Amino acid sequence: MVDASDPTLMLRFAPLLLLAAGLAAPATAAPQPVLVDCQGRGVVKPESIQIGCATGSVLISGIRWTRWDLNTARGEGELVVNSCIYNGGPICVEGKTTSYPAQISLAGQASGPGITVFSEVRLTFKNQGPAALNRGVYKIDNPLGPR
């Protein structure tokens, strides 16, 4: 038998009442997907993306994101290519830099416990990109460092 004067009665049945009324507690938000940078950090909405961390000769800069969620990330920016000359050292020197305005989308989601990572950058050039291409795809295979 239920004692209606019991002050804990409402607390014990509150979750059932919320479910019955369609007012269940909000689900825990999923973590934002990340792009792994050259230092192994997961970054949300980076302002730039380094392609080819070893040489630093290809970069997407000035990124303005219009969408960033678990399904997709979209924005605009510029692909900056340095036609560097490699002189045996760790960096490129004396190169000519060329920029190509582009639409950006990230894809290739991979998920693990508590993390989703984008692993592919797709570019659609507003005019023409390098080698007169209209589109380009770059793989991001940077290892994720300790979290």
- Residue-wise pLDDT tens digits, 11-31: 444 444 444 445 544 555 668
Instruction: Say what the pLDDT of residue 78 is.
Output: 96
Dump the DSSP string for 71-97.
S-EEEEEEEEEE--EE-SSSSEESPPE
pLDDT tens-digit series, residues 118-136 = 999 999 998 888 888 899 9
Q: What is the pTM of this model?
A: 0.71
Q: Where are the alpha helices (DSSP H) in the chain?
A: 9-20
Q: What is the mean pLDDT of residues 86-95?
A: 59
Instruction: Say what the pLDDT of residue 4 is.
Output: 52
Residue ranges of domains in the chain: 29-139
Distance (Å, rounded) from C-alpha 137 to C-alpha 108? 11
Other CB atoms within 10 Å distance of the CB of residue 36 = 19
The whole-chain average pLDDT of the chain stands at 79
Distance (Å, rounded) from C-alpha 13 to C-alpha 31? 31
Residue 119 CB-density burial (10 A; 0-12 exposed, 13-18 middle, 19+ buried): middle
pLDDT-derived band at 106 (thresholds 50, 70, 90) equals: very high
Using alpha carbons only, how large is the chain's radius of gyration in Å?
24
